[in-house]
Amino acid sequence: MKDGFQVVRFRRAAAVAVTAGAVLATGALAAVPAQAVTAPTIVAKGGYVMNNANGAGLYGKAADTRRSTGSTTKIMTAKVVLAQPNLNLDAKVTIQKAYSDYVVANNASQAHLIVGDKVTVRQLLYGLMLPSGCDAAYALADKFGSGTTRAARVKSFIGKMNTQAKNLGLTNTHFDSFDGIGNGSNYSTPRDLTKLASSAMKNASFRAVVKTKAYTAKTITKTGSTRTMATWKNTNGLLSSYSGTIGVKTGSGPEAKYCLVFAATRGGKTVIGTVLASTSIAQREADAKKLMNYGFAKLG
């Protein structure tokens, strides 16, 4: 009986070995079952991540709770500019004193644009998205809004931002500023911002800007000479610290705390998401990495 048991046990072991070999051969063991992945805990008050290919949600924490968005607002600023009919990215915009006064008065992040310089729309987009220049945002709103006064043009541009939000079905989003320095009614949610970023990333020019770590603009001065600007560094630290990162935008502020809209591609799959109201620059990046790791694990 003992010998018979050993034979049966040997046959079972052989069968298991053959089955395991077949599974390994097909690569099935490489994919972790979705239900086996543990959902992460993040410090941010709100978070969301989705499969960029089909918009399927992979994780949510207060995903539909409205919060101040800080400079992640600038994703919409860029999207509105890039949606303009017959857009010429090489068209030049003359930097006005009002833009400079605005960033000084608000102690805002800036691209340090020089009054009187002629800067292309393309350069303004880099100045908007890399150093998060509120002066660049103002210049773009003034350029692409409609009206006879600067105030009217800015109001018109913000109107275009809200129209875009409505067209995208972002029911929990509203803008009252072109840069995130809101007046009490500038808000979105992790889900809405993720949808917005996914839409914006369909534009090749947008993708090119937000994946760039550093950019040096050459502008034209009042006298017609060329000025080489100080290099703009991207505030999105994930570009240097998380393999596969392709964008998209940071944000911060007294009310917004620390925000980050992020996207990464690995193994032909792209996850995209948002964290709102984290506690520091380092923490928002740690939160984002957890969500991307989780997203990729869920996708297998």
Which residues form the catalytic set?
71, 74, 132
Enumerate residues 6+ apart whose C-beta is below 8 A from 118: 92, 93, 94, 95, 219, 220
Instruction: Kindly compute the dihedral angle of the four CA atoms of residues 107, 112, 114, 119, in this order, to the nearest 10 degrees.
Output: -120
Single-letter code of the amino acid located at 225: S
Contact of 124 with 132, CB cutoff 8 Å: no
Cα separation, 49 vs 56, in Å, equals 9
The sign of the dihedral angle between the CA atoms of 24, 30, 33, 36 is positive
- Kindly provide the b/e burial profile for residues 156-181, where b requires at least 16 CB atoms within 10 angstroms of the residue's own CB: ebbebbbebbeebebebbbbbbbbbb
CA distance 108 to 95: 17
Chain centroid to CA 103: 23
3-class SS at 287? helix
Cis status, amide bond into 248, omega within 30 of 0: yes
Strands 232-233 and 245-253: unpaired
Tokens 């760039």 belong to: 212
Residue 108: both structure tokens together: 């805002």
Query: How far is residue 126's CA from residue 248's CA, in Å, rounded to a whole number?
Result: 12
CA distances (Å), 13 to each of 5, 9, 24, 26, 112, in order? 12, 6, 16, 20, 70
Do residues 87 and 78 touch, judged by C-beta distance below 8 A? no
